[in-house]
């Protein structure tokens, strides 16, 4: 019996396939955050006219002055005293957590990060690869990039002609906590970032205690079904970090072994390995729901103990399980508690 939060919108098949390739090739959140994050799918979306951000700056931001910061690539970036039109594509989780509404939001094949739909209502989209013309049309006063790859070649020079451009770098970008704190520093919201992080840690600790009381020493795994191929989340990244580090659930031996093979957020898992998956609970992100989920009819899948025991919890690909960040991870914690703590 499947449980889980349902959402109306679904990503296009192209978006799912390309995100899967990206998540398998390199760490996301990649995130997701940033699942995980955490992806650079190959698709495009038009950029509608921009809108003014609605979030009010904090008191510290109001009294802030212009400052110069050196980014991960060694660029000295002059940060506006109180940026009002921030573009930080695929870092929206951190922005929203800090109370900042971006001038545009990441998209691919007309799909967005649906788990942030409520918070980003009314925010126009921009294609994931940030075409220069589209970036210009939004008139940002600050651009924040996650990875070095986003500004490789002459891209940095072109973006910095549009607005001050700060790259937080792969090391920080791959750790949502560091990313949140760094973006807080950039936006003069360090106090907000620290409070958000403290609140998250308190929630995770409380959830961990509840899980240990309700289901002590239980193991779990998160799987992603994409075009008839299963992927398992790493034991240290994306939603795997939430399950094992934050919530203290046990890592199945198969997951631990597969995680040693790559530093990606999501790793392919064969049917033979699935047959050995000794997890008490399975969390499944099903991107094949619209095409029949044929892989779920395989006898090997149906023979997995967690599946036979009814401890399978299914979520659409619009859920937060493919991403990482304060908001994504908070939603994942809520899903785990709802599923396991009866």
In this model, does residue 215 exceed pLDDT 80? yes
Per-residue pLDDT, 177? 97
Reported as a single tens digit per residue, the pLDDT across 121-159 is 999 999 999 999 999 999 999 999 999 999 999 999 999
Of the two residues 296 and 31, the one the predictor is more confident about is 296
Assign domain 194-340 one CATH number from 3.40.50.1980, 3.60.9.10, 3.40.50.1860, 3.30.300.170. 3.40.50.1980
Q: Examine domains 43-191 and 194-340 and report if their fold is the same.
A: yes
Residue 8: pLDDT over 80? no
Q: How much is the average pLDDT of 26-43?
A: 38
Q: What fold is seen in the domain 43-191? A: Rossmann fold (3.40.50)
- pLDDT value of position 109: 86
pLDDT of residue 342: 74
Find the Cα–Cα–Cα–Cα dihedral 142, 148, 150, 152, rounded to 10°: 110
* Per-residue model confidence (pLDDT) at position 17: 43
Which pLDDT belongs to residue 105? Answer: 97
Domain ranges of the chain: 43-191, 194-340
């Amino acid at each position: 019996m499947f449980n889980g939060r349902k959402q109306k919108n679904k990503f296009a098949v192209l978006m799912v396939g390309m995100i899967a390739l990206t998540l398998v090739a390199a760490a996301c959140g990649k995130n997701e955050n940033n699942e995980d994050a955490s992806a650079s799918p190959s698709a495009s979306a038009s950029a509608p006219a921009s809108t003014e951000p609605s979030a009010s700056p904090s008191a510290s931001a109001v009294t802030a002055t212009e400052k110069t910061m050196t980014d991960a690539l060694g660029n000295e970036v002059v940060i506006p005293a109180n940026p009002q039109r921030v573009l930080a594509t695929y870092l929206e989780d951190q922005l929203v957590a800090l109370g900042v509404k971006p001038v545009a939001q990441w998209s691919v094949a007309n799909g967005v990060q649906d788990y942030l739909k409520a918070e980003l209502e009314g925010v126009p989209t921009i294609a994931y690869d940030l075409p220069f013309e589209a970036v210009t049309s939004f008139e940002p006063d600050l651009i924040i990039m996650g990875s070095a790859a986003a500004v490789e070649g002459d891209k940095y020079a072109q973006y910095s002609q549009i607005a001050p451009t700060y790259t937080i770098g792969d090391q920080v970008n791959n750790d949502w906590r560091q990313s949140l704190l760094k973006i807080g520093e950039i936006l003069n919201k360090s106090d907000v970032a620290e409070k958000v992080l403290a609140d998250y840690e308190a929630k995770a600790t409380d959830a961990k205690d509840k899980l240990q009381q309700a289901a002590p020493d239980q193991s779990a795994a998160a799987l992603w079904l994409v075009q008839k191929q299963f992927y398992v989340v790493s034991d240290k990244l994306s939603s795997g970090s939430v399950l094992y580090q934050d919530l203290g659930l046990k890592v199945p031996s198969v997951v631990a072994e597969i995680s040693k093979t790559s530093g990606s957020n999501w790793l392919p898992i064969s049917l033979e390995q699935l047959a050995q998956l000794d997890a008490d609970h399975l969390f499944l992100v099903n991107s094949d729901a619209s095409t029949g989920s044929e892989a779920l009819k395989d006898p090997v899948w149906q023979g997995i103990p967690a599946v036979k025991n009814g401890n399978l919890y299914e979520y659409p690909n619009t859920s937060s399980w493919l991403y990482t960040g304060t908001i994504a991870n908070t939603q994942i914690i809520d899903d785990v508690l709802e599923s396991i703590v009866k």
